[in-house]
Structure 1
Amino acid sequence: MPRSPLVLAALASAAVPGLAPTGARAAGVEDGVGEDVDAAVVIGADGATWVVRSPTDPASGALLDREAVLLRRLGGLAGDEGLPFAVPDPAGSTPLRGGGRALVHRHLGGLPVDPADLRPGPGLSSALGQALGRLHDVPADVAEEVGLPGYTAEEHRERRLVELDRAASTGQVPPGLLSRWEKATEDVGRWRFSPCLVHGDLTPERVLADGDRVVALVEWGDARVGDPADDLAWVAVGAEPGALDTVLETYAVTRHEQPDRHLPARAQLCGEVALVRWLLHGVRLDDAGVVDDAVAMLRDLDADVGGESL
């Protein structure tokens, strides 16, 4: 049973010394909070705004615990010479009956970035490219210290092929799309990249901006060492070409290591295959509504790409 905002406010009070809640509301995507946790925005007596997140099952609890360790490490890297954006800074946690811990951090502000609103040239597109470039330059030992999972380029390619096999087994993916994706994934030459720390699940609601600045990246439960293209996928499929070019150009200038030339194609592939994950999610839950939604989007994509190769 989901925990109510009032219950979550009480947990926040227990987790953060001196926090005296005067109000609470359910947190949503506009607050940079995903659907795999119970969450609330809590107002303190001093006017400060907090976010409290509580796991819904043991799996989400384990991810939240690991995320807290990573966030403390990344928070120390923020600044002019490090990460040009904030991450949630865990202010406290409290154990839950039945296992797991509720985690509390300050509300970071900013609004979700809609890639369709990005424009070419200086501004938010450039700031986004810089933010991702700085993230992907974080030393690999940070991931090792936290114990994040990691995948080589070949392992990443093999995981993508398994994903496509599962998609094909549903019989719901247009053959033209499967062919397009399989050709791109089987081309080993496209999968020669240097793995780096990636957020792993960037979507508009997890990238928060204020005007032309990226102010925060949130929801780090899927962070890992892997393909940098995964963090660019949502932009590759959602932004207009000129804006995407600006993001990629600024990203390349920012990175210490020159990105491989197949990065844009892999980002496009990852963005398209996200529809398969939505389909498989619906199949696992036996949710006809989710399956129908995914199938409709796959058909639209098939009509848009017209059988072209990536």
Structure 2
Amino acid sequence: MPRSPLALAALASVAVPGLDVYDVLRSPHSDADFDIVIIKDATGKRWVVRAPKRAAAGAALEAEMGLLQALARAHDAGLIEFDVSRPKGAATMTGEEGGRAVVYTEVRGAPLDLAAIEPGPGLAASVGRAIAQIHELPPSLVEDQGLPTYDADEYRLRRLSELDAGVQTGLVPPRLADRWERQMENVAWWRFEPTVTHGDLGEQQILVREGSVAGIVDWMDARVADPADDLAWLAAAAPDDVYESIMEAYVMARRETRDPHLNDRARLASELALLRWLMYGVRTDNDNVVADGRGMLSDLEALLFDDGYAPPSA
């Protein structure tokens, strides 16, 4: 059963001694893994409370806490310009779910609206710089938290394994499977320097205030892996001129040597996100998700092969 906002507020008072809860608000964000509320204290300051709904989510929440503390130190040291939620306390929950509810400072800002971004040096450039700053963080920041770390070839083989699992279901259009396999077997595409990655970046995770990126949230999928993963959503959805502005700022803010196939892998990652959605439905026996995934893969196949689009050579 979902925990009530008042129950979560009570947990917050336990987690942060001296926290005087004045008001309780439902979070505008829904989440399948967490109950979330926003509370105000007597001074008007806002806090976020997250409580896991299942054990796996609780484990991810615990791992994220250490990373957020490290990211907060990186912000205070000037390594990243955007802020992150800062864990301030946790309270053990009773009941079958167990785990701990965690209380964070709220990062002020509105979720990014990709459709409203104009090309040029404004918000588009701020997005590019923010993503570059993630990728410039020292990998030890993630490694020290025990989070996943891959080298380039390990990550390529991981992608191939995901594709093989999808093909075995018989639900992946053969032309898409062949295209993806060629791209994954082209080792020239996969000569990249692994970086810290957010792992689940999108409009809801990037918070904007006064025309620039103010914060980035939801770090539970962070890892050391392919930087292209954090650009996949942009490659899929951003208008070409906006994407060019973002990438121009991104490249200028990176110190690493040029990655000639970064955009190729970003587009591939955006396509494979549809495969992962399909496989989520398969693993959870969710027929609606499976049907949705199959429909999206069918639409992608038609776009790439039936509408005169020339797929990138691999």
Cα distance in 2, alignment partners of residues 35 and 28 from structure 1: 13
Cα shift at 1:208: 1.2
Matched letter for residue 94 of structure 1: A
Q: Deviations over 1:189-242 (max 9, x none)?
A: 100111111111112211111242111111111111100011111111010111
Structure 1 range deviating more: 281-290 or 259-268: 281-290
CA distance 1:117–1:163, change in 2 (3 Å): farther
Cα distance in 2, alignment partners of residues 79 and 128 from structure 1: 19
- Which SS does the other structure have where 1:119 is aligned? coil
Matched letter for residue 37 of structure 1: F
- Which SS does the other structure have where 1:166 is aligned? helix
CA distance 1:168–1:114, change in 2 (3 Å): farther
Give the corresponding residue for 2:131. Answer: 132
Matched letter for residue 310 of structure 2: E
Q: Does residue 77 of structure 2 align to residue 49 of structure 1?
A: no
Q: Does residue 267 of structure 2 align to residue 271 of structure 1?
A: no
Counterpart mapping for 1:1-310 below 5 A: 1-29=1-29, 34-79=31-76, 81-97=78-94, 99-306=98-305, 308-310=310-312
Cα shift at 1:79: 5.0
Q: Deviations over 1:130-174 (max 9, x none)?
A: 001111111122122222210110110011111111221222222
Cα shift at 1:249: 1.3
CA distance 1:58–1:270, change in 2 (3 Å): same
Matched letter for residue 250 of structure 1: A
Q: CA RMSD of the aligned region, Å?
A: 1.7
Matched letter for residue 308 of structure 1: A
Matched letter for residue 237 of structure 2: G
Cα distance in 2, alignment partners of residues 194 and 301 from structure 1: 29
Q: Deviations over 1:95-120 (max 9, x none)?
A: 12254211111221212223333332
Do 1:28 and 1:34's aligned partners in 2 also have CA atoms closer than 8 Å? no
Do 2:197 and 2:230's aligned partners in 1 also have CA atoms closer than 8 Å? yes
Matched letter for residue 155 of structure 2: H
- Which SS does the other structure have where 2:144 is aligned? helix
Which 5+ residue runs of structure 2 have no aligned equivalent? none
> May I ask how many residue pairs the two structures share in their alignment?
307
- Which SS does the other structure have where 1:39 is aligned? strand
Cα shift at 1:248: 1.2
Q: What is the TM-score with the length of structure 1 in the denominator?
A: 0.94
Do 1:88 and 1:106's aligned partners in 2 also have CA atoms closer than 8 Å? yes
CA distance 1:172–1:11, change in 2 (3 Å): same
Cα distance in 2, alignment partners of residues 265 and 34 from structure 1: 31
Cα distance in 2, alignment partners of residues 305 and 116 from structure 1: 23
Cα distance in 2, alignment partners of residues 282 and 94 from structure 1: 33
Cα shift at 1:258: 2.7
Structure 1 range deviating more: 20-29 or 285-294: 20-29
Cα distance in 1, alignment partners of residues 136 and 122 from structure 2: 21
Do 1:22 and 1:44's aligned partners in 2 also have CA atoms closer than 8 Å? yes
Cα distance in 1, alignment partners of residues 156 and 297 from structure 2: 21
Q: Which has the higher contact order (CA 8 A, sep 6+)?
A: 1
- Which SS does the other structure have where 1:146 is aligned? coil
Cα distance in 2, alignment partners of residues 154 and 216 from structure 1: 32
- Which SS does the other structure have where 1:23 is aligned? strand
